[in-house]
């Protein structure tokens, strides 16, 4: 798989008015850098799915342009365009009367790949999303769990190695624990495949966990703020943004703030009983361990080494410093 294949997406002055006059998106400018994962969040009906559908030309904008690597998508042949774009639709949308393997093979088949090439690709993809092709490949969608179906949806979207991946609430149909695991797997997958991803959710925690950048929309596709998660949480641009991301944004922010080794204090004798947290963790992990612990300290570990200790005050100060820096 080509790990560098990703495209830059640029929406400028995009508007969508549906027949009957409802304005789903009034005027949207949005730049999604190649290889980044941008999350669209906003209340129901604010135009998120409409934006995705315009990017792959399932529907046409009423005004404005959408550029893919600088090329106006309205001038690219539709079939050629969709070959470059994988699409995970809201509510998965697997074909119920086709097996998992047949579902994943949809686009390669349309492209006329040979049978052995398709079979190899299907196996590779099911493996990539953590499904056993021998066991799951022959099953039908109704014989899978919700989380497995969503993974098949992701595998199908990746089948022809697209440069862009559009995902509409891909993890919404599963319980919080499975969702958390799928999100983790998905982040690892993105490290491998490095697509340009535009992902829709209305779950702020999901947006914060997955996004390189978050585009927060209000009704009519109005862009309220477009920023990395840490900045959105530290500096909401409007009352609407602050309300949408919630009064616990201070806690959410801990989950996007790395532990800075420079703020650690030396590990003392008393820390033998202190809980530990990985140096790769966040301030959120440190605070959670502190609350579990009972010694007032948490020790930060990197492999064999203990880097230092933190108190709740240290976590607080580190979080404040991060706000000042954002």
Please report, as ranges, the residues that interact with Mg ion according to CB under 5 A. Answer: 49
Of 65 and 90, the one with the shorter C-beta distance to ligand ATP is 90
Q: Give least dist CB 48 to ligand ATP, A.
A: 4
Q: Give least dist CB 48 to Mg ion, A.
A: 5
Of 20 and 266, the one with the shorter C-beta distance to ligand ATP is 20
Of 32 and 122, the one with the shorter C-beta distance to Mg ion is 32
Contact partner at residue 162 from Mg ion, ligand ATP, none, CB < 5 to 8 Å by partner kind:
none
Q: Give least dist CB 15 to ligand ATP, A.
A: 12
Contact partner at residue 24 from Mg ion, ligand ATP, none, CB < 5 to 8 Å by partner kind:
ligand ATP
Of 45 and 294, the one with the shorter C-beta distance to ligand ATP is 45
Q: Give least dist CB 44 to ligand ATP, A.
A: 3
Contact partner at residue 45 from ligand ATP, Mg ion, none, CB < 5 to 8 Å by partner kind:
ligand ATP
Q: Give least dist CB 73 to ligand ATP, A.
A: 18
What value, to the nearest 5°, has the Cα angle with vertex 285 and ends 242 and 261?
A: 100
Strand partners, 38: 198, 213
């Amino acid at each position: 798989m080509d790990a560098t294949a990703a495209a830059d997406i640029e929406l400028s002055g995009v508007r969508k008015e549906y027949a009957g006059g409802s304005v789903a998106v009034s005027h949207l400018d949005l730049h999604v850098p190649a290889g980044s994962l941008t999350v669209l969040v906003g209340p129901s009906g604010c135009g998120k799915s409409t934006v995705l559908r315009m990017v792959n030309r399932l529907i046409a904008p009423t005004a404005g342009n959408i550029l893919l690597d600088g090329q106006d998508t309205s001038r690219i042949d539709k079939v050629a365009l969709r070959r470059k774009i994988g699409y995970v639709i809201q509510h998965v949308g697997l074909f119920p009367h086709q097996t998992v393997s047949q579902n994943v093979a949809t686009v390669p088949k349309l492209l006329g790949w040979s049978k052995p090439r398709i079979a190899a690709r299907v196996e590779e993809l099911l493996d990539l999303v953590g499904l056993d092709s021998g066991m799951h490949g022959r099953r039908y969608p109704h014989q899978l769990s919700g989380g497995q179906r969503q993974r098949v949806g992701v595998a199908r979207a990746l089948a022809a190695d697209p440069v862009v991946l559009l995902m509409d609430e891909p993890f919404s149909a599963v319980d919080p624990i499975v969702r958390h695991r799928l999100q983790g797997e998905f982040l690892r997958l993105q490290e491998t495949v490095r697509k340009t991803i535009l992902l829709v959710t209305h779950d702020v925690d999901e947006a914060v966990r997955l996004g390189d950048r978050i585009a927060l929309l209000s009704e009519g596709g109005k862009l309220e703020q477009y920023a990395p998660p840490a900045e959105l949480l530290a500096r909401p641009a409007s009352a609407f943004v602050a309300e949408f991301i919630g009064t616990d944004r201070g806690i959410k922010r801990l989950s996007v703030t790395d532990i800075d080794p420079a703020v650690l204090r030396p590990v003392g004798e008393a820390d033998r009983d202190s809980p530990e947290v990985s140096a790769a963790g966040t301030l959120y992990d440190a605070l959670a361990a502190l609350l579990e612990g009972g010694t007032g300290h948490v020790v930060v570990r990197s492999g064999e080494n203990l880097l230092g200790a933190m108190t709740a005050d240290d976590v607080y100060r580190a979080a404040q410093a991060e706000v000042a820096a954002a």
